Amino acid sequence: GVFSRQEYNLFRKAEDFLWAVRCELHFVTGRAEERISFDVQTEMAELLGYQEHRGLRGVERFMKHYFLVAKDVGDLTRILCSILEDQEQKKKPGIGRFMAALRRKKDVQGFEVAAGRLSVKSESFFEEDPVNILRLFHVVDEHGLQIHPKALQLLTRSMKLIDAKLRKNEEANRLFRQILTSRKNPERTLRKMNEAGVLGRFVPDFGRIVALMQFNMYHHYTADEHLIRAIGILSEIERGDLAEEYPLANELMSKTGKRDVLFVAMFLHDIAKGRPEDHSEAGAAIARKLCPRLGMSKGDTETVAWLVENHLVMSDIAQKRDLSDPKTIQDFANIVQSPERLKLLLVLTVADIKAVGPGTWNGWKAQLLRELYFETVGVLSGETSVNRDGRIVAAKEALAAALEGDWPKTRVETQLRRHAPGYWLGFDTDAHVRHANLMWEGRDEPLVVEARPDTERAVTEITLFTQDHPGLFSRFAGACAAGGVTIVDAKIFTTRDGMALDTLWVQDDQKTALREPRRLDRLEDTIRKVLAGDILPPDAIEQRNKRQSMLDAFTIAPNVYIDNEASEEFTVIEVNGLDRPGLLHALTRTFFHLGLTIGSAHIATFGERAVDVFYVKDLIGQKVTNTNKKKAVERQLLEALENPIKKSRPQKREVAA
3-state helix, strand, coil in the chain (%, to 5): 55, 15, 30
Residue among 158, 119, 198 at smallest CA distance from 190:
198
* pLDDT computed for residue 639 by the predictor: 92
* pLDDT computed for residue 465 by the predictor: 95
Average pLDDT of the chain?
88
- The stretch 65-75 carries a mean pLDDT of 89
Higher pLDDT, 8 or 295: 295
pLDDT tens track for 96-142: 555 455 455 677 878 898 777 899 988 999 999 999 999 999 999 99
Three-state SS sequence of 401-412: HHHECCECHHHH
Distance CA(587)–CA(640), nearest Å, equals 6
Please answer whether residues 177 and 260 qualify as being in contact, where contact means their C-beta atoms are separated by less than 8 angstroms. yes
pLDDT at 157 over 90: no
Residue among 87, 84, 80, 134 at smallest CA distance from 111:
134
Q: Give Cα 181 to chain centroid, integer Å.
A: 23
Q: Give Cα 398 to chain centroid, integer Å.
A: 36
pLDDT tens track for 19-31: 999 999 998 988 8
* pLDDT computed for residue 650 by the predictor: 38
Judged on CB neighbours under 10 Å (0-12, 13-18, 19+), 286 is buried
Residue among 232, 514, 578, 547 at smallest CA distance from 364:
514
* pLDDT computed for residue 551 by the predictor: 58
* pLDDT computed for residue 55 by the predictor: 74
Judged on CB neighbours under 10 Å (0-12, 13-18, 19+), 408 is exposed
Q: Which residues fall within 8 angstroms of residue 315, CB to CB, at 6 or more apart?
A: 349, 352, 353, 365, 369
Please answer whether residues 289 and 206 qualify as being in contact, where contact means their C-beta atoms are separated by less than 8 angstroms. no
Of 192-201, 224-233, 484-493, the least confident: 484-493
* pLDDT computed for residue 391 by the predictor: 81
* pLDDT computed for residue 384 by the predictor: 67
Global pTM reads: 0.83
Cα Rg, the chain, nearest whole Å: 29
pLDDT at 294 over 80: yes
- The stretch 548-567 carries a mean pLDDT of 79
Q: How confident is the model at residue 649 (pLDDT cuts 50, 70, 90)?
A: very low
Q: Give Cα 138 to chain centroid, integer Å.
A: 31
Distance CA(267)–CA(223), nearest Å, equals 11
pLDDT at 293 over 50: yes
Please answer whether residues 504 and 488 qualify as being in contact, where contact means their C-beta atoms are separated by less than 8 angstroms. no
What 8-state DSSP symbol labels residue 160? G
pLDDT at 349 over 90: yes
Distance CA(381)–CA(383), nearest Å, equals 5
- The stretch 419-439 carries a mean pLDDT of 91
Please answer whether residues 577 and 634 qualify as being in contact, where contact means their C-beta atoms are separated by less than 8 angstroms. no
Domain ranges of the chain: 5-165+193-200, 205-381, 387-444
* pLDDT computed for residue 655 by the predictor: 34
Other beta carbons less than 10 A from residue 255's beta carbon: 8
Q: How confident is the model at residue 278 (pLDDT cuts 50, 70, 90)?
A: very high
Q: Is the dihedral of CA 64, 69, 73, 76 positive or negative?
A: positive
* pLDDT computed for residue 370 by the predictor: 92
| Percent residues over pLDDT 70 in the chain | 91
Q: What is the DSSP code string of 337-383?
A: -SHHHHHHHHHHHHHHHHHH-TTS--HHHHHHHHHHHHHHHHHHHT-
Distance CA(398)–CA(392), nearest Å, equals 10
The CB-based long-range contact list for 33-40 (8 Å cut-off, 24+ gap) reads 36/63, 36/66, 37/553, 38/215, 38/217, 38/550, 38/553, 38/554, 39/549, 39/550, 39/552, 39/553
Q: Which residues fall within 8 angstroms of residue 109, CB to CB, at 6 or more apart?
A: 135, 139
pLDDT at 617 over 60: yes
What backbone phi and psi angles, to 5 degrees, belong to 311? -70, -15
Torsion of CA 76, 77, 79, 84, to 10 degrees: 150
Please answer whether residues 593 and 203 qualify as being in contact, where contact means their C-beta atoms are separated by less than 8 angstroms. no
Higher pLDDT, 96 or 77: 77
* CA 497 vs CA 418, 421, 532, 581, 620: distances in Å: 7, 14, 22, 34, 17
* pLDDT computed for residue 403 by the predictor: 95
Please answer whether residues 319 and 365 qualify as being in contact, where contact means their C-beta atoms are separated by less than 8 angstroms. yes
Report the DSSP pairing between strands 117-119 and 146-147.
parallel
- The stretch 567-593 carries a mean pLDDT of 90
pLDDT at 625 over 60: yes
Higher pLDDT, 93 or 349: 349
SS3 279: helix
Q: Which residues fall within 8 angstroms of residue 191, CB to CB, at 6 or more apart?
A: 228
Q: Which residues fall within 8 angstroms of residue 303, CB to CB, at 6 or more apart?
A: 258, 261, 265, 341, 344
* pLDDT computed for residue 91 by the predictor: 65
